[in-house]
Amino acid sequence: MSKNQEAQEVPAKEDFVPSEGSAANKKTRVGIVKSTGMEKTIVVEYTNRVPHPKFKKIIKQSKKFYAHDEAGEAAVGDKVRIEETTPISKLKRWKLVKVLSH
């Protein structure tokens, strides 16, 4: 092999270690649990403060997310962190990461 070919070698796939930021590409949200009536599913209300497009006043926007709670550890009123994941069901695209406060 010549020097040019050695310099252009690509490391093997096993040698590739993803950077720390690649796992952080998933969205996370912190919200309040509003319902635990379904099995292994919680409804989390996420409230975001954004400026109004025309008037620039800060307003609150809220959105409900259906999150997967395998162990059933979250209760109504808990503050939780959820993370985006691949679709689990028709509405569930989030999973419970941590219960922040009871």
CA 75/CA 100 separation, integer angstroms: 11
pTM score of the predicted model: 0.73
| pLDDT tens for each residue of the chain, 102 residues long | 555 555 555 544 444 444 454 556 899 999 999 999 999 999 999 999 999 999 999 999 999 999 999 999 999 999 999 999 999 999 999 999 999 988
Q: Does residue 16 lie within any of the structural domains?
A: no
Q: Does residue 6 lie within any of the structural domains?
A: no
Six token digits for residue 19: 């950077």
Q: What is the pLDDT of residue 2?
A: 56
Q: What is the CATH number of the domain that holds 43?
A: 2.40.50.140
Six token digits for residue 95: 């999973």
Q: Does residue 4 lie within any of the structural domains?
A: no
Q: Does residue 83 lie within any of the structural domains?
A: yes
Residue 71: DSSP 8-state: S
Q: Does residue 80 lie within any of the structural domains?
A: yes
